[in-house]
Amino acid sequence: MSNRFFITGTGTGIGKTVVSAILAEASGADYWKPVQAGFEEGTDSEWVSGIIFNKKTCVHKEAYKLKLAASPHLAAREENMVVDLDNIVSQIPSSDNLIIEGAGGLMAPLNETEFVVDLIRMMKVKVIIVSKNELGSINHSLLTASVCKQYNLDVAGWVFNGNYMNYEEEIVKWSGIPRLASIRHSPNIDRSFVAGEAVRLRKEFNLFS
């Protein structure tokens, strides 16, 4: 049976790519970011490919690779393109175990009428929400949880990133969504950090059990 998890978050820049890499390293699952917006400093797929150690994970090619670092609908418009969700769904890798990283948060627009949350519903996959421990994270997290409930998404749980303050218990209690794991803060996100967090997470839970 295929196990596919969509990694979303409470916003942009909260650690989805780092969490995706750690989960892939811990489980040996494949990685796919279907929509990449902005690649002047390299793509997220390239970063993940270069930071994991295991020999099982395959990093799959993006369905859309857009130049502008902006909301996908704007980045596509700059190139006279439209992000087609049916096209993305048709390219889902057939991997038994797959980590899919989303762009931005649930309500990030992919085109003029459809959002990341619509793509998740079409894919029919489980969701993992990344919440960064920072000022404002309770509000952002509960809003994200509310959208998940509104759209009847199958949410596996939270992964908390960083340690600004310990908001985890409150977010779990008020959202009704369980905690899967917490990623420690590090000023240097390198191969050693990803490998170490992967070992720690592997002891806590098996994502693909």
DSSP state of 109: B
Determine the angle formed by the axes of helices 137-150 and 168-175, rounding to 10 degrees: 30
Question: Is residue 5 left, alpha or beta, with left meaning phi > 0 and alpha meaning psi from -120 to 50?
Answer: beta
Strand ranges (E), 58-154: 59-60, 64-66, 97-101, 126-132
DSSP secondary structure code for residue 69 in this structure: S
- Catalytic pick from 16, 33, 126, 149? 33
State which H helix or E strand residue 77 sits in.
helix 72-78
Those residues with Cβ within 8 angstroms of residue 160's Cβ, 6 or more apart along the chain or in another chain: 130, 131, 132, 133, 167, 168, 171, 179, 181, 182, 183
Active site includes 33?
yes
Which residues form the catalytic set?
A: 33
